[in-house]
Amino acid sequence: MADATKVAEREEQKVTMVDIYIMGKRYKVPEGLTIMTALEYCGYRLIRGCGCRAAFCGACGTVYNFKNDPVLRYALACQKLVEQDMYLTQIPFFPAAKPSYDLEKMEPTGEQLLKIYPELVTCFGCNNCTKSCPQELEVMEFMSAAIRGDLKEVTIKSFDCLMCGLCAARCPQGLVPYNIALLCRRLHGRYLVPRSKHLDERIAEIEAGEFDVEIEELQKMSLEELKRRFDERPILKE
């Protein structure tokens, strides 16, 4: 990768190139690349910090600022386009506190949550977590809801969390909002969402073998007959 920059400079006249700085070193890359593809354009072979490449897995949370502007910004490297004079560092996802628990032996309450995450009460509302969220979630708000034991509110506000880890990285109290929210959602989903009657009924029907004969019939019939059955099946619209 000796001369990625030189290569880029040869191309410079023809396309709009922007200067970026990867761990302090300058590179020129074509406009329109994401931080992730820009790293690759510069010759980096990614091992860490790259997963779905589509804003779902949270592997690529990244921190950057600008040459003449030290304020830190946060983004997903697979989504954020490079800009002139961006300073980039690659921060690998780092592990955070994750107690073990058995959902089956728990209760969906605030007290339960505090037993697992007692440090939750030390949140003093600095809002760094919210500022660092690349999904633009109201992290501090769902942390307050967690302190109040309002699992439903946490569920609603944290549902789109990719667990990229940036909020935990920025929390001065060492809290791990994404793990706390995950437990709230699991408790909510396991205990507070009303069960689906038709689901339970269908499982019982299958266990009683109610569909076995009909499926066996389909398996035994000729291909022609099966095709006919398929074409004639009723199509339901809601």
Partner 1 sequence: MPYPAYMEESIRKVEGTRERRLKEELPRIPVGNRMPVLQEFHPDFVKTSMRELLVGPNKGDRTPNELADLLEGNSRIDPDKIDLTRIDYDVDALIIGAGGAGAAAALIAQENGANVLLVTKLRLGDANTVGYQGGTQAADRPDDSPVLHYLDTMGGARFTADPKLVEALVKDAPDVIRWLESLGVIWDKKPDGSMAEVALAGECVPRCHCCKDYTGLEVMRVLRDEVRCRNINYVEFAPAIELIMDDKGQVAGAILVNLETNELSLVRAKAVVMATGGIGRLHIQGFPTTNHYGATADGLVLAYRVGCPLVDTDTMQYHPTCAAYPIAILGLLVTEKVRGLGAQVVNIDGEQFANPLEPRDVLASCIIRECKERGKGITTPTAELGVWLDSPRIDMIHGEGTVAQNLPAMVRQFGRFDIDITKEPMLVYPGLHYQNGGIKFSPNGATAVPGLFAAGEVEGGVHGKNRLGGNSSLDLFVFGRRAGKSAAQHAKEVRLGKLTLDHVRQWQRELKKAGLTQVRPISPKILPDYARQPHDYLADYVTERLHAGQIKVA
Considering only 2-10, 24-32, 48-56, 96-104, which stretch makes contact with ligand FES by CB under 6 A?
48-56
Which of 60, 88, 169, 176: binder of ligand FES (CB under 6 A)? 60
Which of 76, 86, 88, 137: binder of ligand FES (CB under 6 A)? 76
Contact partner, 148, from ligand FES, partner 1, none, Cβ < 5-8 Å per class: none
Cα–Cα distance measured from residue 126 to residue 129, given in angstroms and rounded to the nearest whole number? 8
Considering only 45-53, 94-102, 113-121, 185-193, which stretch makes contact with ligand FES by CB under 6 A?
45-53
Site of tokens 């001369």: 3
Residue 51 binds ligand FES (CB under 6 A):
yes
Contact partner, 28, from ligand FES, partner 1, none, Cβ < 5-8 Å per class: none
Range list of H helices, the chain: 4-11, 35-41, 110-116, 128-132, 139-148, 151-158, 166-170, 177-187, 197-207, 212-220, 223-232
Residue 163 binds ligand FES (CB under 6 A):
no
Residue count of the chain, please give it: 238
Cα–Cα distance measured from residue 178 to residue 31, given in angstroms and rounded to the nearest whole number? 33
Minimum CB–partner distance for residue 181 and ligand FES (Å): 17
> Within 13 Å of residue 178, how many CA atoms lie on the same side as its CB?
24
Cα–Cα distance measured from residue 4 to residue 150, given in angstroms and rounded to the nearest whole number? 52
Range list of H helices, 29-109: 35-41
Nearer to ligand FES, 95 or 118 (CB): 95
Nearer to ligand FES, 8 or 133 (CB): 133
Which of 20, 29, 58, 157: binder of ligand FES (CB under 6 A)? 58
Residue nearest ligand FES, Cβ-based? 78
Contact partner, 189, from ligand FES, partner 1, none, Cβ < 5-8 Å per class: partner 1
Cα–Cα distance measured from residue 180 to residue 99, given in angstroms and rounded to the nearest whole number? 10
Residue 63 binds ligand FES (CB under 6 A):
no
**Exposed, middle or buried by CB within 10 Å (0-12, 13-18, 19+), for 213?**
exposed
Residue ranges binding ligand FES (CB under 6 A): 50-53, 55-60, 76, 78, 162
